[in-house]
A and B are shown apart, each in its own frame.
Chain A
């Protein structure tokens, strides 16, 4: 299994807050060594590798993870706790999971 972590540089050149938060959680939770590659999606550069990967996999959120297993279609994860639960077979804190869900689903604001 090979996991690629795609994080974003915003159009104004500043780093993405959520991406930094997810990276810190990967380190804190002990999963950082599971990440084979970290790639930048630079919104100022549509040719940056991360932007091209976003286009290839039709992803419109950052950060995101590409999970590749030999002989299978790559899996895309835009929510950290789902990567941990479903790919790394770990557990996440319920509140962190809820916050991940909110970040990835702005529609929930209206419930």
Chain B
């Protein structure tokens, strides 16, 4: 069943579902939208697929192949495809844009210039193209992934990044209130397949050159873009002392 999107009220539903289980939030998403897909990164967000396929066995799933993922991640995406009998739409970056980047800046420009240029070409452009064709998407984003940026991850929201003046896009974050420990408890209890990199100390998994294993009790963010300094993340306006 799909709804009249004009009547969809994400703020109201975010309040209503803020304490609900991921399964309830995924069911809401799949009940409300037909043109919806799960974004699967090849990591522990596999729990979204495990839960969703119990509700809708042929749920739409897509994955962003940046061309720089670990071999373990490619193998895991295949394992998930076979395990759940799903079609996974694996999205590739624009070849010409990647060639231009590599030709002008080399294969490892992100170590010098920061990761955003490469990520925008290999990840965000294909993602944006995919999302333009959807009404809603489901992500594995959690509040505990980055204490500084994830303070507010509503379980459902209007997607401010990818909505346009002509079309609203809605985003469901069913794992928002789960901790990493809860995700892993679910994976173990339900015999969910997982990426072999997790057994090697990788907590957050992205592209191979930009991801490293972390030590016990290190925050997962420390395994990503560790060479970048805080000064490169400077867009925030520090108005804390101005707030009412």
Chain A residues with CB under 8 Å of chain B are 8, 10-11, 16-18, 41, 43, 46, 51-52, 54-55, 59-62, 64, 85-86, 94-95, 97-99, 101-111
Contacts and interface: CB of A to CB of B under 8 A. Distances in A.
B141 A60 contact: no
B227 to A, nearest CB: 14
B214 to A, nearest CB: 15
A85 to B, nearest CB: 7
14 contacts: A54-B237, A55-B239, A55-B243, A60-B237, A61-B237, A85-B165, A101-B120, A101-B128, A102-B119, A107-B141, A108-B119, A108-B123, A108-B127, A109-B146
Contacts of B141: 107, 110-111
Contacts of B198: none
A1 to B, nearest CB: 15
A60 B235 CA distance: 9
Contact of A41 (B41, B125, B237, B243): B237
Nearest to A16: B234
B219 interface: no
Interface in B195-244: 204, 206, 224-225, 233-239, 241-243
B103 to A, nearest CB: 15
Contacts, number: 102
A51 B124 contact: no
B109 to A, nearest CB: 13
Interface of B: 39, 41, 64, 97, 115-117, 119-121, 123-125, 127-128, 139, 141, 145-146, 149-150, 153, 160-162, 164-165, 204, 206, 224-225, 233-239, 241-243
A99 B150 contact: no
A94 B126 CA distance: 10
A111 B41 contact: yes
B64 A110 contact: no
Contact of A98 (B121, B239, B242): B121
Contacts of A8: 237
B235 A103 contact: yes
Contacts of B204: 110
A2 B164 CA distance: 22
B237 A98 contact: no
